[in-house]
Amino acid sequence: MPAERPILLVEDNPDDEALMLRAFSKNSIRNPVVVAHDGVEAIDYLFGTGSYQGRDLSLMPVVVLLDLKLPRMDGLEVLRRMRADEHTGLLPVVILTTSRERQDIHEAYRLGANSYIRKPVDFERFIHAVGQIVTYWLALNETADPSGNGLY
């Protein structure tokens, strides 16, 4: 049986990270979660560089939940680099951020985001929203294999 594909959570705020992990638990999400705390760490994970040197790149995330406002490299630059590479270009990316700036929304979609969601402030709404997001991307969505060999 193949390993469950991980969820890559790119989040620098420890409180939001804890809320996301709690929301995964409350929604019975069993996939492993890899947390990158800034854009550089996310890129290192995705491309097997830095502290992720030697990582099995055949096990790519089922979905990337990407904050925009990140240290060292912002989320839009992470998205730009992902979309420029054939191995990560088709990975589903959900922007999950507090930004309400129209420019951020427009740029995220222009760069190839699959979805743009503002983080709900209310805890119960946050739990519900995460459940809907993850259920869609893990259970309903069919993901393309970047090699062109069909579905993952």
Interatomic CA distance for residues 119 and 56, integer angstroms? 31
Mean pLDDT of 51-75: 94
> Who has greater pLDDT, 137 or 33?
33
Name, in order, each residue with C-beta under 8 angstroms of 103's C-beta and a sequence gap of 6 or more.
Answer: none
Domains recognised in the chain with CATH numbers: 12-140 (3.40.50.2300)
Residue 82's pLDDT band (boundaries 50, 70, 90)? Answer: very high
Of 82, 54, 69, the residue nearest 10 (C-alpha): 69
